[in-house]
Amino acid sequence: MSSIYDRGRAALVDLSHIGNLKSHSLEVASVCAWVSTLAYALVPDAGARSVEWIPHRELAEALAGGSSPPSAAAWFRERDYPSFTVAVPGGGALGVRIGDTLLLGFRGTTNGDDWRQINFFTGAGVLPLKVPVLGNRYWPWERGQPVAHGGFYGIARMLAAAAAPEIAKWRGMGAERLLLCGHSLGGALALLAGSELEDVDSIYSYGAPKVGSADLIQYLPESHFRYVFAGDPVPATPPLMDFVHGVPAVMLRHGGPSPGVLGKLLKGWSKGGSKGALANLFAAEHDLGLYASTIDAMLAQGK
């Protein structure tokens, strides 16, 4: 049976035949889901990685068993795909050049320090709850101005600044097109980093939380394809009343009925008591492996 890394390597196909990356493509969604998966495995953490935090069951089990490529550069060299990684406290990103396209996958949460860095539920930043933003600058807050989640935005800015020189280098060598992607926190970072980087073709996010107010949407990249699995609770967070998603979701569903909140809690409780119940509530439909396998199945069926 092939490993998750073997399947990821096979999934990263050249997208040169797709003329317009600003339009939705299930093939691009598949490639971006796999880049987002590999970002969890290959991007070094600023803090200690905790496997149990990685919202991808198969990948977490592989990492826990010691199955991990030595480095992003060594792993991608086998396919002749130039790559780079950048990391800051609270986040990281993996860049991979495939043909004329550069894909930048933002890593989601891999340890408790990530949550503390971003202040997920409060968004603590310059203001108690949110950081005002207009274009690429902070502004004194006034009612009606666009606001972004302070923790998300601060990390996204740092990652965009760290990745910009690498992006410029590869663009100078023929990688003229740029895709951003990410799962969970990584999806939020990809969207906000897109406001900092130039000439982003599209953003693909999977199970991403809301990043800001409705007034913020006009400053974000237009081509954002937001995948949400039915039952995933993360896209409904953080619980800030004026935060919204700027684009409708591309919904994914189970082949059969989706288990409800009570069903997920009971199943988790049977495996690990209260801790298992909470973990299963957030892990079941938020698992990136479920997103990727569902998209791959749709692609195989020609949907």
256-303 pLDDT tens trace: 445 555 555 555 555 555 544 455 555 678 999 999 999 999 999 886
Cβ proximity of 181 and 94 under 8 Å:
no
- Report helix, strand or coil for 94: strand
pLDDT at 75 over 80: no
Side-chain half-sphere CA neighbours of 278 within 13 A = 3
Average pLDDT over residues 82-101: 90
pLDDT at 126 over 60: no
Residues 96 and 43: their CA atoms lie apart, in Å, by 12
Total structural domains within the chain:
1
Domain extent at residue 149: 4-300
- Please tell me the pTM assigned to this model: 0.84
Cβ proximity of 183 and 107 under 8 Å:
no
Strand-pairing partners, residue 179, are 103, 202
Average pLDDT over residues 24-35: 96
Cis peptide before 44 (omega within 30 of 0): no
DSSP conformation class of 195: T
**Measured over all CA atoms, what is the biggest interatomic distance in the chain, rounded to whole angstroms?**
57
Residues 282 and 278: their CA atoms lie apart, in Å, by 7
Looking at residue 134, which CATH number applies to its domain? 3.40.50
Residues 192 and 174: their CA atoms lie apart, in Å, by 25
Please report the pLDDT score of residue 33 as a whole number.
97
Cβ proximity of 46 and 92 under 8 Å:
yes
Strand-pairing partners, residue 225, are 204
